[in-house]
Amino acid sequence: MQPSRVVSMTRRLVIQIRRDHRSVGLLLVVPMIVMGLLGYILRLDRYDLRVGLVSTDQGLPTLAGALSATEALNSRMEDQGGLTIEEFNRAEAEQLLRDGQLDVVLVLPEGLFRSMLDGSEARVEVLVEGSNPSQAEALPAQIGAMLNQAVREFNPTRQGAEIQVETQYLYAGPEYDFLDSFAPVYIAFFAFFFVFLLTGVSFLRERTQGTMERLLATPITRIEIVLGYMLGFGFFALIQSGVILFFTILVLKIRYVGDLALVFLLLGLVAIGAVNLGIFLSTYARTELQVVQFIPIVIVPQALLSGMIVPVDQLPQLLRLAAHLMPLTYANRAMTDVMIRGFGLSGVAGDLAVLLAFAVLALVLSATTLRRQFI
């Protein structure tokens, strides 16, 4: 072995990468952007817990009027900070909980105030949405601790059992674990990611092998070329999406309640959108390495902002606007609505429309890029 040859090979590679501005940007700039965005998201301050209060407690009569558990607990829980409390009837509170405008609903039963005074057993009901098991476990415990602290502040001499919290779920249930809740999100993400990578690399090979130039020399139009590639790649993309879906269900045995046909329709639109996006972006790449370089630029931000780590409605306004421009945001929401909440076609029609619009837009951009790239 001659060291001079090794040095020459090393020098050639360094010069080649240094001249490739895209590779330099990937090495130096993109990691800072991605890690900065991730660190910012993970350190976001949690907004106040939004509590809906439903009370049937009539309280006890006093000279100043009836004093109820609602008044006694409401003021003391608000004084602790971190809470935004509003009173509703039960139907309104449950609807707001479904719509994501409340985090938890606290139901105070009749006779709760008397129990607070005499130390007898007291039970309250906490309603959670249920699609996030970690939240479903943490929120009732947090509310229970706040309730008992508020009771001790109100009646320091109180003896007896603490207030017991009974958790009720609008969706899913206590048997659902983290994988069950996360599965709809990661199914959509991995389908999008693998299909994008497969399409980008395969379409690049078609260009580098001269197939595209020969096609453009025939009477076939550019939109016909893109449609043909979309259908060809889309066929295998659907197979891959089906493998991801059924492996998750049959092997990992996740729990779900929605219609699998609707889930597959959603994945099909995600896959077709990823195919068209892969065709579009691959025209800007000259090597397979450059196709891979699009992953931290195109895929990673969608993973960070589409609700996989932090719910979209908890993001700052600017990042929330960016999230609503990303197809995975709508795919993740629709998949969760179907597999966890059991929504039908009408419940996810809006998200389906957005995914279809994205697929069509990427198709048009692909045809336009072909015209610019090869003429």
Domain residue spans in the chain? 49-169, 177-374
For residue 81, the model assigns a pLDDT of 63
Give the count of alpha carbons within 13 A of 70, CB side only. 19
**Rg over CA atoms, the chain:** 28
Chunk the chain into consecutive blocks of 10 residues (it has 375) and report each block's average pLDDT, rounded to whole numbers. 74 74 71 79 70 74 53 66 79 87 84 70 83 75 75 66 80 84 90 90 82 78 83 88 90 89 93 91 81 85 87 85 93 93 92 95 86 46
User: How many CB atoms sit inside 10 A of residue 263's CB?
Assistant: 22
Q: Could you identify the residue written with the tokens 């994205």?
A: 358
Residue 182 near residue 309 (C-beta atoms within 8 A): no
* Secondary structure class of 175 (helix, strand, coil): coil
Residues 6+ apart with CB under 8 A from 80: 146, 149, 150
**Six-digit token pair at 211?**
């197939």
Three-state SS sequence of 46-82 = CCCEEEEEEECCCCEEECCEEECHHHHHHHHHHHCCC
Q: What is the pLDDT of residue 374?
A: 43
**Which residue(s) pair with 128 in the sheet?**
169
For position 313, what pLDDT does the model report? 81
CATH architecture entry for 49-169 = 3-Layer(aba) Sandwich (3.40)
Residue 64's pLDDT is what?
A: 43
* The residue type at 208: T
With CA atoms as reference, report the closest residue to 279 among 375, 374, 195: 195
- In which order are the strands placed within the sheet that holds 164-169? 83-87, 49-55, 104-108, 123-128, 164-169
Q: Residues for the chain: how many in total?
A: 375
Distances in whole angstroms, Cα of residue 155 to Cα of each of 112, 119, 147, 151, 183: 13, 9, 12, 6, 46
Indicate the pTM of the whole model.
Answer: 0.81
Measured between alpha carbons, how far is 43 from 32 in angstroms, rounded to an integer?
A: 16
Within 10 angstroms of residue 12's Cβ, the number of other Cβ atoms is 10
